[in-house]
Structure formats: structure tokens, C-alpha cells
A and B are shown apart, each in its own frame.
Chain A
Amino acid sequence: MIEFDHVHKRFGEHVVIDDLSLRVEDGEFFVLVGPSGSGKSTLLRTVNRLVHIDAGNVRIDGVDVATQDVETLRRGIGYAIQSVGLFPHRTVGENVATVPHLLGWSKAEIDARVEELLILLKLDEPGIVDRYPDTLSGGQQQRVGVARALAARPRIVLMDEPFGALDPVTRESLQASLKAIQRDTATTILFVTHDMDEAFGLGHRVALMLDGKVAQVGTPLELIRQPVNERVREFVGGSRARLRELAVRLVRDSMRKGEIADGDAVDGGSSLQDALGAMLTQGRDRLPVHEDGHPAGTILLADLVASRE
């Protein structure tokens, strides 16, 4: 659990974080989203004390981070950044092993963990462990960056726009990997992005930050359906907000049970956006839904258009 309690931060005369309070629960995928200069990165960096706050405090499991030894604190928190920051003179394996090495793990433990992480992050080309970062593609580098952040099994991972510099295809693939890893390990992730689709696609809860304050915090659906003011509505996407809603809602929650339709089936766990895409591709206004490969129901275009619960 991460708690921000009346946090203030200013750079010179400029207030970057303005009396901000926020709570991130254990095992939560929490996204800070907002435009450049909204203070989201700065807030993230107060957790591992790369930024020193002027007032208030930041607590992890009730303990003020300012009272802890800064290196111990940081070694206990995963950290990944947009520019990746791999060590160019270290191999992939050595990069991933950075924190376990600092923590004094045995060589056998480190080797086993590195192997496990490379598989987890789909870095399974033979010999990749001994290659140097400059021989990897941008996507592979960021996979190594994420593996390095997860290496010592931290309970909290901070990610500062880690996929911001990647092409859309690579980004989606990494988002999927990260989502699965988070679900399986129940790691608390605090994730910063300026990309609203990424925020809604990844976050259990999302905090929209504007001018150093949290403008609204809630689940993606809450932000889309009940924006607290006009600025939030604008950021959430105005008229396009309904498209985003399709992206965060699941087929199985909107399907009709039992009715059978023709066409290639969509999975119950996929998003309404995927279902709409499939309908457009197949030229149909209804499609069968499968759960675990078995027919389970039907999804109708009319339900997508009309759906406002």
C-alpha cells in the first residue's frame, strides 16, 4: 500500500505537486495519467525518493519513506523508465541481475531468476542473456528494462512511461505481457503515462492529474461515465469517450446468453472494441461468443450502440 499524504513539491516558484493525497492498494495496477507538466512523474519519483518532497509524507505500508535508508528503500522497489537506461557495458543478464546482485543473492539464485524473467518477458532468443543492450531492438531493450525492475521480486514497481518510445505494435505486446505478469504476481504497480488509451487499458484504477492535483481518481469506467468536471471530460475524450468505454468493457458482460449467431466467434474475455472490430471485419451485426472454446452466447451491434448501464 502506497499512501501520499498532503504531498507538496515545488521547483523554485513553480508548484509541481499541490497538497496531493492518494492511496494505492496492495496488488493494484494504478495508473497516473495526465498531460506533460501535470506532476505525475514527479509524484512517482517521490516514492523511491528520487524527488524530495517539501511537505507532507509518502508512506509504504504505513512507514514514511523518508525515515528509511534510501538505498534499501530503492532496492525494494522496482523502477523502469521510458529511456530504459540499460547499462551499455553490461550484458542483458548482468543488467537484469542488477538489484539481486546489490542485495547479495547467490550466483545460482541470480542465474535461475534471470532465466525465469527472460522467459516471462518473452526474451527467449538463444544467447540473448550474453548480448549487450546495443544489439537489441527498442522493444527488447524495454523488456530487459522491465525484467530488471522485477528482478528482486519487489512488492511495488514504479514505471515512468516505460512504453512511451515504442511503436504501437511493440507497445501493445509489452502492455499485454505486463498486464499478465501483474495479474499473476499481484505486484503493486504505479504506472505513469500521458496516453489515455494505455491508462484505461492497463489500470485497475486511474488518477487523472492536472496542474499538480488529482482531478479525478477511479476505475476507467467511472472516469469515462462520470467525469467530475468539463476538463476531465475533455481529457477522457469527449465524444470519443464511448469508444474508450468499448475498449475497457468485456464481451461477456454484454452478451445475450443462449442465442446463436453465424460467423467467427469472439472470446468472452475480449473487449467490446474487439467485438466491434470483428463485426466490421465480417460484415455482420451479431457474432457468437465463446468461453473456453465453447459457445456461450451472442453479442449484438445494437447492444454495443445502446449499452449505457
Chain B
Amino acid sequence: MNPRALPVLVLAGIGLLCAIAFPFLYVTPNRLLSGEPHSPHVVALALSWVLLAGLGMLEVRGSRVAVALLAWALIAGLPLVAGMDARALLHATAASARVPLGAGFWLMWLAANLLLLDRLRGVRTSGRIVAWAGLFVALVAMSRAGAFESLALVREFHAQRGPFMDALLTHLSLAATTLVLALVIGAPLGWWAWRARRTDGAVVGVLAFLQTVPSLALFALLIGPFAWLARAWPALGALGFGGTGAAPAVFALVLYALLPVVRYTVAGLGAVPPDAREAARGLGMSRLQLLSRVQLPLGWPVLLAGLRIVAVQTIGLAAVATLIGAGGLGRFVFLGIGQGANDMVMLGTLAIIALALAVDLLFQAMLAFTERRS
């Protein structure tokens, strides 16, 4: 069997299992109670996964494209079908009723995404951009047309629109502040570690140790010292600095971000050919000129690749920061858990995932741009 067919078979198998075994939707009397599972399209969905598996095994021209197209259609079509089902189901029930998406939907949607990702491997960048941008446009267009209005998730979003936008902005500014501070502190630290050949020294050791402290514990540990600081210097307190809030959150996030920034700075500096450095010095460049004209341009792609990882990691970790009052999208997750409102948890989680993916994409674009230039 063609080894490239294996991912298709596995994913199609998972899809088939989910179509049969897990509920596609639920109907609940209100946003807190659990409800009845509904799986209205078991046969059709199961058949399409079988079709996918079959196409994956066929070794004829165009079967690869057919698998990609079918996966694409599933990613766009599953939410549409769910939205239409939800509308039909709500029509027949009370106004407080909700239609949340079930595990079957989510897992199938995930499997379809992974399938498309796999099929697009090795395809030209332009082709990949067209596929994903097309999906984005299709989903936005459906959303604009109101196709998803009846889904519990969208209803939850409408109910929380104001707080959601606030949380999104807070989340972004927490992550951005963290990234900037980590770069400002970590890059010089990395430069020093590289110059002193101290990548196994105390500083890196401490940073590596910090990575092992659970984020929740670190946030909690910082409350005491920061509260004390705010009391000792009331001016700091007046600036919103205290045991809870953004200050200790950013502090903790920066601590987590420092190790990768330092590591990637060292790797970036190491990526500069030693002979180019030797020549630069021999020709009379000062340390600053060496840094700005040789080391930074040559090491930047490596550092940028590191920042991409730091950015995604920080967006994930910032979810926990809400527990010490820093706000952000984590608020919906923890509030939702507290209230038993799954839609709210889902709203926060999906937003964090989407944000992380968007930032990842942004960094990929920046990387592609710098690589084309150099």
C-alpha cells in the first residue's frame, strides 16, 4: 500500500467512527442544562468518510486532488449542515433552548482539517494560501448570511459580544507586552550567554528551571511579592500595579518566554558564519556595527522562528492569567467551567486557538518575507 495513503486512512477511520459513535449536536432546554444528543446525518457522513478512505487508497491520477477537495468541502460543509440542523431543531422548541455542537462534529471537523493539511503538504505556497483563504472566505460568508445564528456557540458570542471584544484586546495586549519585554530582556541576555559561551550556565539553568514550574503555581506565587511592592511604593499601586492584575501576569509570562528567546538568540548568533564575523572584525567593524550589519541580519530568521514559538506559547499561557485578574480570553473558559456553561468554555477556547493560529500565520508570513529577501 502507498505509505502516503496511511494518514488518509487513519483520519477517515476516525471520521467514520465519530460520525457513527458520537453525537453531532445536542438540544438543551437552556444554556446550563445538558440535553438530548441528535445525529441526523449518520449515513451520509459515514458514506463520505468511506468515500474519502477509498479515494485515499486509489492510486489514480486526480485521487489526491479529489481527497483534498472532499476534505475542503467537509470543513466548509459540516458547520453549514450543523447550522441548518440547529435552525430546524430550534424552530420546534422553546425560546430558551440551545443547540450546542457535539463531540462528533468537532472531531470530524478536526479530522477534515488535518486531512486537508496533509493533502496540501508539498503543494506550492500559492496553492495552500488559496485553499485556506478560500475556506476562510466561505465560512465568513456563511456566517454573514446567518447560517450559524442558531448554534449555541454563536448565540453565546452574541450575548457576550462586549466582554468578548474586551477580553480579546486584553489577551492580545498581554501577549504583545510579554513578547516585547521578553525580546528586550532576552535578546541581550542571549547575546551575553553566546559571547561568554555560557549556554549551560546559571542564567540559562534558572530559566530552564522556571519552565518546570506550573503556570498556575507561578501566578499564585507572584501575588505576594507584587502586593508587597504595590504597598511599599504607592506610586506603583496608583499605576494599577498590584498582587493581581496585568503586572504579575506579564511578569510570569515573560519569565516563561525568556528561555526560548535566550535559546533562539544564541542559535541565531551561532548561525552567523564564523569567517564572516572574523572578516567583519578584521575589516574594522565595531561591536555595534558587527551586530547591526552582520549578526542581526544573518541571525534574525532564527530568532524570528523562536519568537513564533514564544508568541503561540504565550497566547496559550495567558489564558491562565485570568485567574489572577489579568483578564483575557481565559475568563470565558474559567467562568464557563464555574457556571457549567459549556458554550462559554468553547467560546473562550476556540478564540484562543484561533488567535494562536492567526499569530502563527503572521509569523510564518514574516519568516517567508525575510527568507525571500535574504
Q: Verify if A98 is at the interface (C-beta below 8 Å from B).
A: yes
* Contact mask for chain A residues 82-111; partner B; CB cutoff 8 A; 1 contact, 0 none: 011111110000000011001000000000
Collect the chain B residues with CB atoms within 8 Å of residue A73's CB.
284
CB distance from A158 to the nearest CB of B (A): 8
Q: Which of B274-290 contact A (CB under 8 A)?
A: 275-286, 289
Which residue among A89, A99, A145 has the maximum number of chain B CB atoms within 10 Å of its CB? A89
Collect the chain A residues with CB atoms within 8 Å of residue B276's CB.
85-88
Q: Choose one: B275, B297, B374; the contact of A85 (CB below 8 Å).
A: B275
Which residue of A is nearest B294, CB measured?
A: A87
Q: Which of B25-76 contact A (CB under 8 A)?
A: none
Is there an interface contact between B374 and A81, defined as CB atoms closer than 8 Å?
A: no
CB distance from B161 to the nearest CB of A (A): 47
Bound CA–CA A79/B280 (angstroms): 10
Is there an interface contact between B284 and A72, defined as CB atoms closer than 8 Å?
A: yes
Collect the chain A residues with CB atoms within 8 Å of residue B281's CB.
50, 74
Q: Verify if B298 is at the interface (C-beta below 8 Å from A).
A: yes
Collect the chain B residues with CB atoms within 8 Å of residue A85's CB.
273, 275-280
Q: Verify if A193 is at the interface (C-beta below 8 Å from B).
A: no
Q: Verify if A125 is at the interface (C-beta below 8 Å from B).
A: no
Q: Verify if A48 is at the interface (C-beta below 8 Å from B).
A: yes
Is there an interface contact between A81 and B283, defined as CB atoms closer than 8 Å?
A: no
Q: Which of A25-63 contact B (CB under 8 A)?
A: 48, 50
CB distance from A188 to the nearest CB of B (A): 17
Q: Verify if A75 is at the interface (C-beta below 8 Å from B).
A: yes
Bound CA–CA A98/B283 (angstroms): 8
Collect the chain A residues with CB atoms within 8 Å of residue B279's CB.
79, 81, 84-87, 145, 148
Is there an interface contact between A74 and B283, defined as CB atoms closer than 8 Å?
A: yes
Contacts A87-B294, A89-B374, A102-B289 given; does A74 touch B282 at CB 8 Å: yes
Is there an interface contact between B275 and A81, defined as CB atoms closer than 8 Å?
A: yes
Contacts A89-B297, A89-B374 given; does A75 touch B282 at CB 8 Å: no
Q: Verify if A71 is at the interface (C-beta below 8 Å from B).
A: yes
Bound CA–CA A75/B286 (angstroms): 10
Collect the chain A residues with CB atoms within 8 Å of residue B298's CB.
87-89
Bound CA–CA A158/B284 (angstroms): 13
Bound CA–CA A73/B285 (angstroms): 11
Collect the chain A residues with CB atoms within 8 Å of residue B284's CB.
70-76, 99, 102
CB distance from A191 to the nearest CB of B (A): 15
Contacts A88-B298, A102-B289 given; does A48 touch B273 at CB 8 Å: no
Is there an interface contact between B275 and A79, defined as CB atoms closer than 8 Å?
A: no
Is there an interface contact between A81 and B289, defined as CB atoms closer than 8 Å?
A: no
CB distance from B335 to the nearest CB of A (A): 49
Collect the chain B residues with CB atoms within 8 Å of residue A87's CB.
276, 279-280, 293-294, 298
CB distance from B285 to the nearest CB of A (A): 7
Collect the chain B residues with CB atoms within 8 Å of residue A75's CB.
283-284
Is there an interface contact between B283 and A148, defined as CB atoms closer than 8 Å?
A: yes
Which residue among A70, A76, A85, A89 has the maximum number of chain B CB atoms within 10 Å of its CB? A85
Is there an interface contact between B285 and A71, defined as CB atoms closer than 8 Å?
A: yes
Collect the chain A residues with CB atoms within 8 Å of residue B294's CB.
87
Collect the chain A residues with CB atoms within 8 Å of residue B277's CB.
85
Bound CA–CA A48/B284 (angstroms): 9
Q: Choose one: A76, A79, A89; the contact of B282 (CB below 8 Å).
A: A79
CB distance from A83 to the nearest CB of B (A): 4
Which residue of A is nearest B298, CB measured?
A: A89
Collect the chain B residues with CB atoms within 8 Å of residue A71's CB.
284-286
Which residue of B is nearest A82, CB measured?
A: B275
Contacts A89-B297, A89-B374 given; does A102 touch B285 at CB 8 Å: yes
Bound CA–CA A89/B285 (angstroms): 16
Bound CA–CA A88/B286 (angstroms): 19
CB distance from B295 to the nearest CB of A (A): 11
Which residue of B is nearest A48, CB measured?
A: B282
A/B interface sample: 6 pairs, CB < 8 A: A71-B285, A81-B275, A81-B282, A84-B275, A87-B298, A88-B276
A binding-site residues for B, Cβ under 8 Å: 48, 50, 70-76, 79, 81, 83-89, 98-99, 102, 145, 148, 158
A sample of 19 more A-B contacts (CB under 8 A), given A74-B282, A83-B278, A88-B276, is: A70-B284, A72-B284, A74-B283, A75-B283, A79-B282, A81-B275, A84-B275, A85-B273, A86-B279, A87-B293, A88-B298, A88-B374, A89-B297, A98-B283, A102-B283, A102-B289, A148-B279, A148-B283, A158-B282
B binding-site residues for A, Cβ under 8 Å: 273, 275-286, 289, 293-294, 297-298, 374
- The 10 lowest CB-CB distance pairs between A and B, nearest first, are A85-B279, A74-B284, A75-B284, A85-B275, A83-B275, A79-B282, A71-B284, A85-B276, A89-B297, A89-B374
